[in-house]
Structure 1
């Protein structure tokens, strides 16, 4: 597969901080965990910064689904449920891939991937579309394989893998579809990588905090609280990571998610990171200010009542 050549200067222009509103789509395995729901709400409650144009349901396969297709369809319905609770009928939701990539150069057809191609081709390098992915990155990789030119008009912000210093990168989002991950890392698409363990893992909260600062913020606050409460049988001395809001936090205020530029890493066959300094640059988030991120989220929730 040949991809358009993006110069490092062009790539840096798209990876540098932007002012004003950001156009984005959110690719999410919404039913897989409880953190996707928080990310969806956080994005919609940040209109001063984010213009959410579409949601894409991503596949997932674990104890909550019978396979990638079932996971994607459950995520699709969960997205509808959240938007209905928030009274939002203005943003389209598209079904994504029913399988993971069958090979390194074979896309999976879906409404989500096709819509991403259309939106990206209608964008420009000067006003790129931010593709925020918080699950297996199958839909995004499929869109790139369908139309490689979209890498000139998008910026991918992906929560996936663990920190580069971690002993391995066997993380749920990454390990589900390694061929798709390699496309994202090898294609040269402008990429912001937010690792899970070691970075997004800072975003822990407790039922007590959610009760105090989320539950009373309207119907959607009650829903988030109940979702958090039901996910674990005993909340005594228990906290949970709300991983996925890391991507929204990065777009809302990059000062809360410090980052560096480094060479795009490689995923080995043993599912470990390796690095080659001759590869193109990506932006790598190495820390998240947990308190500032949750403060912003809680304030925006209460502003929605």
Structure 2
């Protein structure tokens, strides 16, 4: 929703991707197909026509590091990356697993020359941050498809900006903040808030009570692409280090690769800019929606 409300970017594709088998958020085995339904619903709530924008990825992870998983999303990624009629930068923004971008590269490795992958996922890097208490042995988004992670990091030459777990966990908002800044912003804001509130309710029994914060950990995908500086465009208000891209072990650990291509590892993100932009665009959209409704009624 935040990306769709941002006029400076051209959203070419929305990729509906899968969760890991048995994931409590959707254990159906059809999570990519169900994700596409959610995306279509969000478009409709915003008064947008999805047309060919929403594409569905594979419902299965990679079986090995050489074999792609065919899907309409994979074909669409390749087609968009290989276009010769545009010169604007192309970003592939991954807020979950890496199956579809890995499959696209396995089929057409030249896409690496034509896009930058921004990925929310992966464990903390030594010397930059420590894992949180009780951390999952393999970080959640990497666990969706560890083999695809190995392809992207260790096999491919795709330029990579990574927002690892310690950084996406910085993106905390309070329940009070969401109630006042999101839920009060019309039907769309209420819908978005209720989606988060349902997660609060789902996990409350496991946490031993209610929680007051939620990590909107995918929002840096907007921050690092939409909210770049006007001059010398770059996500200049956030911080990163440049490191050789490691390979990934079967346990998700980083393995040093001498001479590997450089990658960005973000260490801090500008949550003030990111969330204020979200809240203000949502409020602006609601004012436009309300005024358009009044105009239509009159």
Could you say whether these structures have the same fold, taking a TM-score greater than 0.5 normalized by the shorter chain as the test? yes
Moved more, 213-222 or 267-276: 267-276
Would you say 1:188 and 2:148 are equivalent positions? no
Would you say 1:75 and 2:49 are equivalent positions? no
Match of 2:173 among 205, 211, 214: 205
- 1:172-196 deviations in whole A, cap 9, x for unaligned? 1112212211221131111111112
1:288 to partner: Cα distance: 1.3
Contact 2:200/2:210 (CA < 8 Å) preserved in 1?
no
Structure 2 Cα separation of the partners of residues 83 and 102 of structure 1: 33
Instruction: Report the equivalent of 1:45.
Output: 5
Alignment length (residue pairs): 262
With the length of structure 2 as denominator, give the TM-score of the two structures: 0.82
Structure 2 Cα separation of the partners of residues 202 and 302 of structure 1: 24
Match of 2:96 among 118, 127, 135: 135
Contact 1:256/1:293 (CA < 8 Å) preserved in 2?
no
User: Counterpart of 2:183 in 1: which secondary structure?
Assistant: coil
Q: For structure 1, list consecutive stretches of 5 or more residues without a partner in the other structure.
A: 1-40
Instruction: Report the equivalent of 1:265.
Output: 246
Structure 1 Cα separation of the partners of residues 84 and 68 of structure 2: 22
User: Counterpart of 1:202 in 2: which secondary structure?
Assistant: coil
Match of 1:58 among 17, 20, 44: 17
Instruction: Report the equivalent of 1:244.
Output: 218
Contact 1:57/1:76 (CA < 8 Å) preserved in 2?
yes
Contact 1:86/1:219 (CA < 8 Å) preserved in 2?
no
Q: For structure 2, list consecutive stretches of 5 or more residues without a partner in the other structure.
A: 228-234, 287-298
Contact 2:67/2:103 (CA < 8 Å) preserved in 1?
yes
1:124 to partner: Cα distance: 7.7
1:223 to partner: Cα distance: 0.4
Structure 1 Cα separation of the partners of residues 54 and 77 of structure 2: 12
Divergent runs of 4+, >4 A: 123-126, 234-237
Query: Root-mean-square deviation (CA), in Å?
Result: 2.0
Higher Rg of the two aligned structures = 2
With the length of structure 1 as denominator, give the TM-score of the two structures: 0.80
Structure 2 Cα separation of the partners of residues 126 and 155 of structure 1: 14
Contact 2:153/2:247 (CA < 8 Å) preserved in 1?
yes
Contact 1:264/1:280 (CA < 8 Å) preserved in 2?
yes
Contact 1:134/1:244 (CA < 8 Å) preserved in 2?
yes
